[in-house]
Amino acid sequence: MLTWAKPPRLVVGIVVDQMRYDYLSKYDPLFGPDGFRKLQRQGHVFTDARFNYQPTVTAVGHATIYTGAMPAVHGISENNYFDKDIGKVVYVMEDPAVVPVGSNTGRCSSPHRLRSTTITDELKLRHPSSKIISIAIKDRGALLPAGHKADGAFFFDERSGKWITSSWYAERLPDWLQQWNERDQNRKYLSEPWNLLLPRSAYAMCTSDSTAYERAPAGKPWATFPHFIQADDWKSFTASPFANTLTKDLAKEAIVRENLGRDDVTDFLCISFSATDIIGHAYGIHSLELADCYARLDRDLADLLSFLDKQIGKKNILVFLTSDHGAAVNPLFAEDQQMPGGRLEADTWLATANQFLGQRFDGTPLVAAIMEQQLYFNDSLMSAMGIAYHEVAAAATEFLLKQPGVLCTVVPKAGLSTCPPMVETALRNGWVPDRSGDVIFALRPGWIDWPHDYGTTHLTVHAYDQHMPLIWFGWKVRRGLTHRPTCMTEIAPTLALILNLPLPSGCQSHPLSLPLKK
């Protein structure tokens, strides 16, 4: 690849939250010609793009895509982690030094725990007149792609039903977004019930409309269509495909009102579609609800691509579409289909773990927390009792390997591993010394760490959580397929090469071999 004298006027990064690679083929019968199919047929598809770490979750995925670094380097270790210094669970975006802007009920969130620059940071540092705008329902889906220097990072406050930002970026919303909120634009997306977009016969890839694998809405025995969203129930709204449509429409408004892509200095628009994840958690990967969400997202993408072409021109925009993680099969569904798998709740093991270790260490409660497939030691007690770290590590490993669904363990500080090499590498890539647990454990294929019978989750080392779509479209992209193994950390250095930018500070990867026209 050469460096380019005239890079694209606008880069549009699209992350579809919880989208497995196989959804491109699974839901293809539901797609029209101008959304996912257009991206694949006119763009370049990397068919074997993967994250190479655990934990595969939203915050970590977005940080990895935009920094080109593994979690061990960029520092975003989880959505939530146990902070040993204060003895409690911390949300990774939480920042008491900032306030929400646009609502007094929103989260106090910022990217302050992100330890690497992002590709958007590097663009802003090189070209201060470049505009960086990021939009998502989830704060972590907006703030981490935005990086540290964005012009705007906007996320949805489900308490007030308004779009907000963090004081990290600005003391007030831009006028156009303030006007959007004041006109109560979001409320029109609540005006109709959620029915199937297509005839029921089109959804042959789904289970029935009434199964035990889904979360029933309040007041209903089953999760069946139509779904009604009560006025001002913005939390339920985010679990509907209309939240994706709202995100798309706000992105279109931002393109116009921020004049994105209007000059020869590259701008960057980050969009994360969050509803796919929220719906997947609630209803599972075989549900009608998730399939219909993708049918509707396909139309949203078609509208967005058409809008971009009319406003800026396909030859002037570079689009990439990917995901932050995948999802597992619901264990009840797996059992009914005679497939391996199961469900555990590791955070309920704390008392049992301390009882097990206490038999060897005079009853001392040496485990401080178990969460997100990680076990944290009580360092102060270990030090006070003079108990050797490697002895506790060995006992904790023995305890975990006795639990149903646990595949293997890694204790990075003690150099201990019971994992096969590829799994060990993935666990070490996701380990952040001052934020991650002392013992990391991987689950057997098909097992999930999840407190509900319904829906599903993610986080593991397995392909259904790691294998992502990665499609490039527009500008000078040559259409086609690349089948070689690709790491998701290769996205940011590819953008750095195209935009003639330095690599993000934590980036460890080489660029993709993305075929481009001269």
Q: How far is CA 294 from CA 15, 56, 222, 301, 376, in A?
A: 13, 21, 21, 10, 38
CA–centroid distance for 380 within its chain: 34
Structural contact between residues 269 and 260, judged by C-beta atoms closer than 8 angstroms:
yes
Q: Which residues contact 273 (CB under 8 A, 6 or more apart)?
A: 14, 15, 16, 17, 136, 244, 247, 248, 297, 300
CA-CA-CA-CA torsion for 422, 66, 479, 466, nearest 10 degrees? Answer: 30
Check: CB of residue 162 under 8 Å from CB of residue 297: no
Task: Indicate which residues carry an active-site annotation.
Answer: 58
Give the DSSP H or E segment for 408.
Answer: strand 406-411
Q: How far is CA 347 from CA 83, 88, 476, in A?
A: 15, 13, 49
Cβ-contact 494, 364 below 8 angstroms: no
Task: Please provide the DSSP assignment of 153-207 as one string.
Answer: EEEEETTTTEEEEETTT-SS--HHHHHHHHTTGGGGGGSS-B--SS-GGG-TTS-
Start-to-end CA distance of the chain, whole Å, equals 9
Assigned token pair, 372 = 């997100």
Residue in the structure block whose two tokens are 């075989």: 286
Rounded-to-integer distance, Cα 440 and Cα 442, Å = 7
Burial class (CB in 10 A: 0-12, 13-18, 19+), 172: exposed
Q: How many CA atoms lie within 13 A of 100 on its CB side?
A: 20
User: Which residue, among 18, 267, 58, 251, has the nearest Cα to 144 in the 3D structure?
Assistant: 58
Rounded distance between C-alpha atoms, residue 380 and residue 46, angstroms: 48
Residue 17, both tokens = 């939250």
DSSP 73-119: HH----SEEEETTTTEEEETTB-TT--EES-SSS--B-STT--S--H
Cβ–Cβ < 8 Å for 376, 360: no
State the DSSP H helix or E strand holding residue 498, giving kind and residue range, or none if neither.
helix 491-498
Task: Look at residues 480, 489, 487 and name the one whose alpha carbon lies nearest to residue 517.
Answer: 480
